[in-house]
Amino acid sequence: MDRQGHPDRREATRETRLTLSIAWSFVLFNYIYADFGFFARIMMDPAMMGRFQALGQAHYSQWAMLALAAMMEIPIAMVLLSWLLRRKANRIANIAAGIAMTLVILFTLFGGGRVPPLDFYSFFQAIEIAATVAIVYYAWRWREPDRVGDGSGAAG
């Protein structure tokens, strides 16, 4: 804190990093819980299990599986990167990752031109979209703090 009680540059940057890291954790918990609920519903409904098994007969190449794994690694990595990257790289990474994950969820929600059902999975997708848009907004508005505080000149 400076003499007027305002957070110094390092403290403000630390607070923003922590906020973004927590926001990505929130997004991940929603992804996990939605997918867990989706698969639990499939396991409990014999008709859905049959449709899902038929879908599971499709062959997914290792390249497709690698692409899906890389896509899901984005929010996982952002929990850590939001805390570790310096301010400028952090802003860019959060904006890019937030936009990418928002588009992924929008595609899964509206892909193929379908109208999404009003169910628990769509509920989670709406929350995930709101959270990733909020991350983009928060990162977009993250400006370099005024040069007050300890005088070290560290920009975070």
Q: Give the Cα separation of 7 and 12 in Å (integer).
A: 6
pLDDT tens readout for residues 78-109: 999 999 999 999 999 999 999 999 999 999 88
State the average pLDDT over residues 62-71: 87
Put simply, whether the predicted model's pTM sits higher than 0.85 gets the answer: no
Query: Can you give the pLDDT at residue 29?
Result: 95
User: What pLDDT score does 4 carry?
Assistant: 61
User: Which pLDDT does position 151 carry in this prediction?
Assistant: 40
Query: How confident is the prediction for the chain on average, in pLDDT?
Result: 82
Q: Is 73 exposed, middle or buried (0-12, 13-18, 19+ CB in 10 A)?
A: exposed
Model confidence pLDDT, tens digit, residues 7-58:
566 787 889 999 999 999 999 999 999 888 776 766 676 666 666 665 555 5
Which residues does 125 contact at the CB level (< 8 Å), separation at least 6? 34, 105, 108, 109, 116
Contact 129, 27 (CB under 8 A): no
Q: What is the pLDDT of residue 58?
A: 58
Q: What is the pLDDT of residues 101-156, one digit of tens each?
A: 999 999 988 877 776 677 888 899 999 999 999 999 999 999 876 554 444 344 44
pLDDT at 118: 72
